[in-house]
């Protein structure tokens, strides 16, 4: 068993790593492509992290505290919702005009959706390590802090080349919007197909 301090350090480090999951990075990249300012992009990352962490702490906390089990079908449905959200974000970027900016609430809502989809897995991970509910909640809190720190740093770093591109050539900015849009669509479709295969839906559809 891990000590209390070691558990918190582990939670923070895993939170840093969790923020870098491909579906997370692609989602924020599509939003940041419309916000070339480093400060604004960092705010996008922080809002995503806050939305994600609030949901992880709330839903994961309930799972950890009351030892609630989550049906596999529910978890898969939430993940499929994330896939559809990524496709929608990508389509929005492809249809967005260069000067249009997303609502400040958007990254927080996207983060909340990601957090909702991942809360069960994160809670089960901590429950496999600790049995004390208070320690589990502390772990989820520092895990969330790690995701906020990592995503804020990632989005700020993304904005540097975006800022340079938008300063030099407006067509480059439009190209970045298109690339981020197609990337979000591709990852969303890949995730949807993967989930359908894991659930056996494609196999049943293909069967005579």
CA distance linking residue 146 with residue 15, whole number of Å: 4
Domain count, the chain: 1
Q: Which domain holds residue 62?
A: 4-206
Does residue 195 have a pLDDT over 60? yes
**Half-sphere exposure (Cβ direction) of 10: Cα atoms closer than 13 Å:** 15
pLDDT for the residue numbered 205: 45
**pLDDT (tens digit, 9 = 90+) per residue, 163-189?**
766 655 566 677 888 889 999 999 999
Quick: pLDDT tens for 42-99. 999 999 999 999 999 999 888 888 887 777 888 889 999 999 999 999 999 888 755 5
Q: Is 67 left (phi over 0), alpha (psi -120 to 50) or beta?
A: left
**pTM of the predicted model as reported, rounded to 2 decimal places:** 0.86
**Mean pLDDT, the chain, whole residue set:** 85
Q: Is the pLDDT of residue 206 over 80?
A: no
Beta carbons of 81 and 117 less than 8 angstroms apart: yes
CA distance 178 to 91: 9
Above 60 in pLDDT, residue 39? yes
Checking if the pLDDT of 208 tops 50, the result is no
123-138 pLDDT, tens digit per residue, is: 877 877 777 888 889 9
Give residue 160's pLDDT. Answer: 82
- Using DSSP, how many helices (H) and how many strands (E) does the chain show? 9, 0
What is the percent of the chain with per-residue pLDDT over 90, rounded to a whole number? 46
Residue 113 has pLDDT above 90, yes or no: yes
Average pLDDT of span 23-29: 93
């Amino acid at each position: 068993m891990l000590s209390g301090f070691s558990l918190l350090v582990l939670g923070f480090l895993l939170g840093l790593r969790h923020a870098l999951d491909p579906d997370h990075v692609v989602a924020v990249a599509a939003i940041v492509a419309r916000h070339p300012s480093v400060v604004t992009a960092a705010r996008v990352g922080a809002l995503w992290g806050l939305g994600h962490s609030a949901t992880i702490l709330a839903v994961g906390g309930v799972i950890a505290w009351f030892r609630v089990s989550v049906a596999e079908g529910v978890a898969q449905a939430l993940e499929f919702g994330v896939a559809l959200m990524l496709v929608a974000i990508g389509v929005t970027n492809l249809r967005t005009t260069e000067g249009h900016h997303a609502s400040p609430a958007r990254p927080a809502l996207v983060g909340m959706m990601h957090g909702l989809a991942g809360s069960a897995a994160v809670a089960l991970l901590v429950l496999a390590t600790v049995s004390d509910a208070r320690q589990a909640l502390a772990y989820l809190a520092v895990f969330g802090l790690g995701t906020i720190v990592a995503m804020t740093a990632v989005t700020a770093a993304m904005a540097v080349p975006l800022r340079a591109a938008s300063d030099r050539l407006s067509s480059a900015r439009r190209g970045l919007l298109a690339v981020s849009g197609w990337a979000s669509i591709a990852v969303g479709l890949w995730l949807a197909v993967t989930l359908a295969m894991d659930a056996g839906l494609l196999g049943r559809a293909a069967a005579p």
